[in-house]
Structure 1
Amino acid sequence: MRTANKVIITCAPTGSIHTPSMSPHLPITPNEIAEAAIGAAEAGASILHLHARNPVDGSPSPAVEHFMEFLPRIKQSTDAVINISTGGSATMTLDERIAAAKAVKPEVCSLNMGPLIFDFSGAGARVETWQHPWEKTYVETSRDRIMYNSNSYIERIMVEVGQELGTRFEFECYDIGHLYTLAHFVDRGLVKPPFLIQGVFGILGGIGADPRNLAHMVTIADGLFGSDYYLSAFAAGRNQIPFCTQSALLGGNVRVGLEDSLFIGRGQLAQSNADQVRKIRTILEELGREIATPDEARAMLELKGADAVGF
């Protein structure tokens, strides 16, 4: 693993898991997403992992026009690295999921390194009243859906987004096997180091939020990639901050945001993404780690630069 005293904080402001009825603070409209992202950047996030939503009902959207309603404003207001999701939602086709990335040519995209059951049905247990008709069915039927990224899908994204656009990836690994899938594509020469490996823990269907699993992931990643990768890790829900802290203790980087957890403490909804960024930043600085600026993150990950994007 590559380690540095500088820690990259990624913030994922909205995602496609949580729905409007789960928190009044979840960014939905383009204005809300822009304000959330800008606030997170001002609080110390150097990378912004972004999804779009339909502003009418808050449902996940792959539409390029929905992304373009907030991307220019974020770029004008911050120097943060923009990371566009290619995971989108399990309800979207691959062409839908990569449309925005191909259109806006960002510095970074997320890339799920394999298929998995992505069950977030339990998140609906706290909701007493659903605001929109789509929400309850979307949440409850997640137990029957697979977030599908086959090896051919992964290859398409690496070629059409990575090689053709010069975009690098946040390799989202939800299980140990996903590391071996990444190693397969590295051996084939489809992606080059340094790799940003984002360990994702605590999703029902993926690897559990047990600290021993993170230590094991590092052990395997070290064996496969040596010093060619940077670690980042987070856990969904209540384990968000503890897992980020452990990642930092292991020499890695961190990710927070309302995509991953709606809470700031036990039973306490986070009122903003910036609140979560400030919380983990305080912990990191107490541990003696410095927070990477966007330009320092660009240098670490060898990104193409904000002047080479398409928005």
Structure 2
Amino acid sequence: MTGLILNLAPTGMVPTQDMSPHVPITPDEIISDCRKCADLGATILHLHARDEEGAPTYRKDVYARIIAGIRETHPDVVICVSLSGRNFPGFAERSEPLFLSGDLKPDMASLTLSSMNFARTESVNSPEMVRRLAETMAERGIRPELEVFDTGMINYAQYLADKGVIAAPHCFNILLGNVATAQATPLHLGVMTSALPAGSLWCAGGIGASQIAANSLGLLFGNGVRVGLEDYLWLDAARTRPATNSQMVTRVRELAGMFERTFADCRQVRSMLGLRPHG
């Protein structure tokens, strides 16, 4: 069996340091945390930028600073920028990080395939927006990180693939446990994976206390996992042990060892995703 992908989502749009002091907020904190987790085996970094006040931002100059800081010490790690529309509804805002170039150009960018509800907020992704973002990624030579929360999103990915908008190899993050979408059960995951385009790679991540269950399913049956404080701030379901990103990376590597699975290195992951070596 090939090695697994370890995708780290260190910050997200929602967590603050009032919620947990371990959430990296400033560019320097994000850089430091990502470097530490890359040393521990994280091979994809799913980045959300924050502004000077700690609020989410789409600004490419902030992304540039974070990417440069990470690549200074870890040039081969796969960099994925978030194109989330939860705070920024316009195409110009959402697409801005795609226009970084040279050594600052991201390898991947997130693409959520449809609109949905979270526990308290909505994520609006119109068909036109999804397609425009996908087309811009294709023009820029950036691979989509296809984020799916239910089978309808997978169906739309297949539709875009059939239309030639997104090209193989397709890399999916299957995100389970959100209250309004698929749950972290073998049945829900099985239905979703059975609908993936042939030859797809998929990693499993869990929202909230579903993280460890979803990660276990990804380790056993998938191509890898997504972990990080974006998805959950705790190490336990009872919320008594605050987590750090490095603890989550270490734990999922230990869990993989119990299942006799190993993780790929950055260059192997780049080959799996059809990405050129960096530099």
- Scaled by the length of structure 1, the TM-score of the pair is 0.84
Are residues 1:294 and 2:266 paired?
yes
Which residue in the other structure is 1:236 paired with? 207
Identical aligned pairs, as a percentage? 30
Say if 1:13 and 1:258, in contact at 8 Å, map to a contact too: yes
d(CA) in 2 for partners of 1:274, 1:290: 18
Ranges in structure 1 where 5+ consecutive residues have no aligned partner: 122-141
* Residues 50-69 of structure 1 mapped to structure 2, 5 A cutoff: 50-56=47-53, 58-69=54-65
> In structure 2, do the counterparts of structure 1 residues 40 and 92 end up closer, same or farther at CA, with 3 Å as the change threshold?
farther
Are residues 1:275 and 2:247 paired?
yes
* Residues 241-260 of structure 1 mapped to structure 2, 5 A cutoff: 241-260=212-231
Say if 1:111 and 1:171, in contact at 8 Å, map to a contact too: yes
Where 1:41 maps in the other structure, the secondary structure is: helix
* Residues 213-228 of structure 1 mapped to structure 2, 5 A cutoff: 213-221=188-196, 225-226=197-198, 228=199
* Residues 73-152 of structure 1 mapped to structure 2, 5 A cutoff: 73-78=69-74, 79-87=76-84, 89-103=86-100, 104-119=104-119, 121=120, 142=121, 146-152=122-128
Are residues 1:303 and 2:275 paired?
yes
Which residue in the other structure is 1:130 paired with? none
Ranges in structure 2 where 5+ consecutive residues have no aligned partner: none
* Residues 9-88 of structure 1 mapped to structure 2, 5 A cutoff: 9-56=6-53, 58-78=54-74, 79-87=76-84
The residue type paired with residue 174 of structure 1 is F
Where 1:21 maps in the other structure, the secondary structure is: coil
> In structure 2, do the counterparts of structure 1 residues 202 and 90 end up closer, same or farther at CA, with 3 Å as the change threshold?
farther
Where 1:181 maps in the other structure, the secondary structure is: helix
Give CA-to-partner distance per residue, 1:224-267, whole Å, 9 cap, x none. Answer: x22x2011111111110221111111133100011011112242
Say if 1:90 and 1:148, in contact at 8 Å, map to a contact too: no
| Deviation of the 1:218 alpha carbon | 1.4
Are residues 1:154 and 2:130 paired?
yes
Say if 1:102 and 1:160, in contact at 8 Å, map to a contact too: no
- Scaled by the length of structure 2, the TM-score of the pair is 0.93
Where 1:263 maps in the other structure, the secondary structure is: coil
Cα RMSD, aligned residues only: 1.6
d(CA) in 1 for partners of 2:184, 2:14: 18
The residue type paired with residue 257 of structure 1 is G
d(CA) in 1 for partners of 2:96, 2:233: 27
> In structure 2, do the counterparts of structure 1 residues 17 and 174 end up closer, same or farther at CA, with 3 Å as the change threshold?
same
| Deviation of the 1:70 alpha carbon | 1.7
Aligned residues: 274
Where 1:295 maps in the other structure, the secondary structure is: helix
Give CA-to-partner distance per residue, 1:66-85, whole Å, 9 cap, x none. Answer: 22232101011113110111
d(CA) in 2 for partners of 1:190, 1:211: 30
Which residue in the other structure is 1:127 paired with? none
Where 2:65 maps in the other structure, the secondary structure is: coil
